[in-house]
Amino acid sequence: MENFYKHTGIRKTFSLIFYMVWISSQAEGKLVFAEAGRSVNLPCNNKSIGRPTQLTWMMNETQLLFSFIPKQQFHMTPEAQILNMNMSDSESQLYGLIIERAQTSHTGNYTCMTTTPTGVWEQKWELIITDPVEVKYWNKLAIALAATVLCVCGLIFIIALIIMLKVCRKGSDTCVHSLPADMHEQTEDIYENCFESRSKTRAN
């Protein structure tokens, strides 16, 4: 029973949620799923990345994380420090955004903006961090809830069955004991009426 609900109900629910998120986020960027505690690397793989004059990483469109000018300066914001993020300043690593131990607070939209002589290019990512502990908790909660519902339904069915059997027994006892007595009284009345009518006829 536990494996059934775990592998069918929960996984189908999460798959549906992730699919809906994926559909809605296609306009935002590439979708990435990662478990909490794992490392995440979001590369800034623009086609023109070979000659950037400036590169910035943003979170949720408005929160600046990193600003980088090759061979000149590298700026890390306090928000990036709070979130324990790093950025690679290596062209071979595609100036990727690095999260060593991802947490659910890292879930969000990330944008890499690359300024080049030909224009500004963007690479977008949609990052979703799932918490294994939370997933296990919801699995156990769903199983407990399903077991409770089954027990309550079974108990209601048993009580209803007992009540129906008692009602049927009372009804059958009433029919068996009352109907023959009524019929017997009616038969005696008919016999008495017949004898009375014959005696009256002879007397006349």
Q: Is 118 exposed, middle or buried (0-12, 13-18, 19+ CB in 10 A)?
A: exposed
Contact (CB, 8 A) for 56 and 6: no
Is position 124 within any domain? yes
Residue 33 falls inside a structural domain: yes
d(CA 47, CA 121): 9
Q: Which domain holds residue 101?
A: 2-130
- Residue-wise pLDDT for 28-50, tens only, equals 568 999 999 899 999 987 665 55
User: Of 54, 36, 133, 45, which Cα lies nearest the Cα of 92?
Assistant: 45
Q: Does residue 157 lie in a domain region?
A: no
Q: What is the pLDDT of residue 12?
A: 45
Q: 110 exposed, middle or buried (CB, 10 Å; 0-12, 13-18, 19+)?
A: buried
- Provide the CATH number for the domain around residue 126: 2.60.40.10
Assess if residue 50 is contained within a domain.
Answer: yes
pTM, 2 dp: 0.52
User: Does residue 19 belong to any structural domain of this protein?
Assistant: yes
Q: How many domains are contained in the chain?
A: 1
Does the residue 113 lie in any domain? yes
Any idea which residue has 């290596």 for tokens?
Answer: 90
| CA distances for 189 relative to 182, 186, 192, 200, angstroms | 11, 5, 5, 16
Task: Evaluate whether residue 154 is within a structural domain.
Answer: no
Listed range (124-128, 138-142, 174-178) with the worst mean pLDDT: 174-178
| The pLDDT value given to residue 92 | 78
**Residue 181: inside a domain, yes or no?**
no
Q: Is residue 44 exposed (0-12), middle (13-18) or buried (19+ Cβ within 10 Å)?
A: buried
